Amino acid sequence: MAYIPINIDEAVKRECERRRYSPRTIETYLSCIRKFLEYSGKGLDKIGKKEAREFLEHLSERKLAGSSLNVYHMAIRFLLEDILHKKMKLNIKYSRVPEKLPRVLTKEEVKKLLGKIENWKHKLMIELMYSAGLRVSEVINLKVGELELEKNYGFVRQGKGNKDRMFILANIVGEKMKNLIELERLAKDNFLFRTNKNEKYSDRSLQQIVKRASDLADLKGVHCHTLRHSFATHLIENGYSVADVQTLLGHKSPETTFVYLHTATPNMIKVKSPFESL
């Protein structure tokens, strides 16, 4: 039997906060849920898949953008499954995919691209960009003191929107960074990546590295940001949630992250049982 909370707003807010959702995400979910409940006109014990489908079809008929439909979809599913504990799945096939999806590389294409970069430091910068989902500016402005190499993470300071956030480090990338720091005797306040003239790399330098490698690998439409898109998509394919990916990318709203649900290979969007890791 479904659990019916006395105050639905408080129940939604409490569960969102427990999951460390941002205040903006909480407000977005609350707004979507309120509109859904108002449209259905039914009590919490009476709403279900049928009412959700009718509401989303209503929004679709009003020509709501595909990305906005997906936000409503996720908010309603959150209400039904995580708040009311109703054992059901929404399968809204007509919910439109955003018209323009980002270019995403397969894992094999990422390997192919990296294999075309001969300069070891250039390769390390691009490996970091992909393995941590960093923007170009975040790579070139990264300082040694912002890394926790023994714990495989680092921090972006004053990133987009002047926000700080944590990023993950792959073991092999972390080991290469340790070697770089030792080889060049870098201090904590030094930029991690410096040119032969002891200067910080420019955005254009990294863009040229990726452009040259993609041409050699015969990969079309690849840019630096393609690696960030690929990082996010591959996380979704590996079973991580939109909330996890949103945090790692530093997105303010889950709506921005939802696009990666569409770029991921459908049959790989799954979560493994904890039994697999016993």
Q: Spelled out in words, what is the top-level CATH class assigned to the domain 107-268?
A: mainly alpha
Question: What is the C-alpha separation between 211 and 202, in angstroms, rounded?
Answer: 14
Question: What is the C-alpha separation between 193 and 176, in angstroms, rounded?
Answer: 12
Nearest to 225 by CA among 157, 138, 107, 154: 138
Question: Residue holding tokens 């390769």?
Answer: 123
pLDDT band at 99 (very low <50, low <70, confident <90, very high): low
Residue 78 pLDDT > 80, yes or no?
Answer: yes
In sequence order, what are the beta bridge partners of 156? 165
Percent of the chain residues past pLDDT 90, beyond the cut: 32
- Looking at per-residue pLDDT, the higher value among 274 and 62 belongs to 62
142 Cβ contact partners less than 8 Å away, ≥ 6 residues apart: 128, 134, 154, 156, 191, 192, 193
Comma-separated ranges of CATH 1.10.150.130 domains in the chain: 8-83
Residue 141 near residue 189, CB atoms below 8 Å: no
pLDDT band at 4 (very low <50, low <70, confident <90, very high): low
- Mean pLDDT for 85-110 is 70
Kindly report the pTM of this predicted structure: 0.58
Question: What is the C-alpha separation between 122 and 207, in angstroms, rounded?
Answer: 11
Residues 153-182 have pLDDT tens digits of 888 886 665 677 888 888 999 999 999 999
Positions marked active-site = 135, 160, 225, 228, 251, 260
Question: Residue holding tokens 């500016």?
Answer: 137
Comma-separated ranges of CATH 1.10.443.10 domains in the chain: 107-268
Residue 69 pLDDT > 90, yes or no?
Answer: no
- Mean pLDDT for 177-201 is 93
- Looking at per-residue pLDDT, the higher value among 237 and 12 belongs to 12
pLDDT band at 271 (very low <50, low <70, confident <90, very high): very low
Question: What is the C-alpha separation between 47 and 36, in angstroms, rounded?
Answer: 10
**Count, residues in the chain:** 278
AA letter at 50: K
Q: What is the mean pLDDT of the chain?
A: 82
Position 45 scores a pLDDT of 84
Residue 180: CB atoms within 10 A of its CB come to 17
- Looking at per-residue pLDDT, the higher value among 83 and 91 belongs to 83
The encoded tokens of residue 260 equal 């990666």
DSSP conformation letters of 191-247: BS-B-TTS-BPPHHHHHHHHHHHHHHTT-TT--HHHHHHHHHHHHHHTT--HHHHHH
Position 165 scores a pLDDT of 84
95 Cβ contact partners less than 8 Å away, ≥ 6 residues apart: 56, 60, 66, 69, 70, 73
AA letter at 163: K
The CATH number that domain 8-83 falls under is: 1.10.150.130
